[in-house]
Amino acid sequence: MKVPMTINDFLDRGVAVYPDRVAIVDEPDQPAPSLGEITYAQLGDIRRQMGVAMDELGLEMGARVAMVSHNSARLLTSFFGVSGNGRVFVPINFRLSKPEIEYIIEHSGAEALLIDPELEADLAGIDVKHTWIMGPESDGFWYGREGTPQPWEPDEDATASINYTSGTTARPKGVEQTHRARWTNAAIFGWMAGVSDRDVYLHTLPMFHCDGWGMLYTVTAMGVKHVVLRKVDGAEILRRVDEHGVTLMCGAPAVVSAVLDAAADWDGEIPGRGTVRIVVAGAPPPTAIIERVETELGWEFIQIYGLTETAPLITMNRCRQEWDELSSLERAQKLSRAGAPVSGSKPRSTPRARSWPVATTS
């Protein structure tokens, strides 16, 4: 029997193995009321509740639900609540212009839309059949429901989410992420980045970026605490690391720079020394920045490369044992490249002498 791979595998494990752990610590400071802390058992229940809500809307399996939002617990629950019930989640970059967002909503065929309160004025006039400003009103509809949702027959080839590229050369292009693509990316990312149930994850990466590079599924399987961060701010990142014992974060090079700047003004020992790994992609940072992550923060720098179109992880560059004895500068030079193929991505063959002599009894 072939068991279909779906994103539910990750939350199912989080719920079954770590029900009482805190799954989500919502951003305390945001326009909508903070959702506070949500356990894994509760997150599993929210998935059920959102399924019931979509049934009430009359959304067929495969229907699209869009959300334009900063990082928030409401956004995070929706990856599981929407895709986990057979509908397609469309997380939209809140930095896009109104016409671009309109285009994406139209193009994706979204039948339901949730908008961050901060964007309410900017996006006025955009609506679809069912539209909410995120907060008490949307919570009252989407959460807290009784009942059992219409069952979804797990299908790994079904689309879980659609991520729109930034549209630098043309209109944004929608990349349909299948459950299988999400699953394999999340498992391999977890393996190669060494994600364990001792990690604490800080959302320094926008979740709309290819479903947070898939890392939001990865850490969920391990019962990891998701600490939501609404806006990148170096000092705030250091405070959250300190407060929550964060060990893992992802982001663009700008996140690294923000943390380094804040560290220069930080009073006392930098939190997370020897325990935090920061996974960086988007553009290769300068070697000097990479070196400073080691020397000034004492954090591990991991570089990855990928495309939304590849789900996204293709390569990873993480310090190898062979580099342990190098100077911090030499190590930073090694880490300034995109790295090596992860398992399952197709490496080019490496030209190298590799014949192997047959042993003889001499």
Cα distance between residue 332 and residue 295, in whole Å: 10
User: What is the identity of the amino acid at 186?
Assistant: A
Cα distance between residue 71 and residue 75, in whole Å: 6
Nearest of 33, 264, 260 to residue 138 by alpha carbon: 33
Region 222-281 residues binding a second copy, contact defined as CB under 8 A = none
342 lies in the binding site for a second copy (CB under 8 A) = yes
Out of 10, 94, 266, 299, point to the residue binding a second copy (CB under 8 A): 10
143 lies in the binding site for a second copy (CB under 8 A) = yes
Cα distance between residue 208 and residue 17, in whole Å: 27
Closer residue to a second copy (CB): 135 or 298: 135
Region 151-190 residues binding a second copy, contact defined as CB under 8 A = 157, 178, 180, 183-184, 187-188, 190
Q: At its nearest, how many Å lie between a second copy and the CB of residue 166?
A: 22
Q: Which residues on neighbouring strands pair with residue 301, listed in sequence order?
A: 278
Q: At its nearest, how many Å lie between a second copy and the CB of residue 175?
A: 12
CA distances for 153 relative to 222, 244, 269, angstroms? 24, 38, 51
34 lies in the binding site for a second copy (CB under 8 A) = yes
Cα distance between residue 22 and residue 19, in whole Å: 8
Question: Coil, strand or helix: which one is 146?
Answer: coil
User: What phi and psi, each to the nearest 5 degrees, are found at residue 272?
Assistant: 85, 5
Out of 168, 169, 321, 327, point to the residue binding a second copy (CB under 8 A): 321
Q: At its nearest, how many Å lie between a second copy and the CB of residue 155?
A: 13
Out of 62, 151, 286, 347, point to the residue binding a second copy (CB under 8 A): 347
Q: At its nearest, how many Å lie between a second copy and the CB of residue 337?
A: 12
C-beta atoms surrounding 357 within 10 Å: 5
Closer residue to a second copy (CB): 74 or 292: 74
123 CB-near residues (< 8 Å, 6+ apart): 68, 98, 101, 115
As a whole number of angstroms, the longest Cα–Cα distance in the chain is: 84
Region 86-115 residues binding a second copy, contact defined as CB under 8 A = none
Residue 225: enclosing H or E segment and its boundaries?
strand 225-227
Out of 45, 55, 155, 242, point to the residue binding a second copy (CB under 8 A): 45
Nearest of 130, 50, 116 to residue 82 by alpha carbon: 50
320 lies in the binding site for a second copy (CB under 8 A) = yes
Closer residue to a second copy (CB): 103 or 143: 143
Which of 316-325's residues contact partners 24+ apart within 8 Å by CB, and which partners?
316/192, 316/193, 316/340, 316/342, 318/192, 318/193
Closer residue to a second copy (CB): 77 or 93: 77
String marking each residue 188-217 x if it binds a second copy according to CB under 8 A? x-xx--xxxxx-------------------
Judge whether 113 and 67 are in contact, CB under 8 Å.
yes
139 lies in the binding site for a second copy (CB under 8 A) = yes
55 lies in the binding site for a second copy (CB under 8 A) = no
357 lies in the binding site for a second copy (CB under 8 A) = yes
Closer residue to a second copy (CB): 169 or 321: 321
C-beta atoms surrounding 356 within 10 Å: 5
- Binding residues for a second copy, rule: CB under 8 A, are 2-3, 5, 9-10, 12-13, 15-17, 19-20, 33-36, 38-39, 41-46, 49, 135-136, 139-140, 143-144, 157, 178, 180, 183-184, 187-188, 190-191, 194-198, 221, 318, 320-321, 340-344, 346-350, 352-361
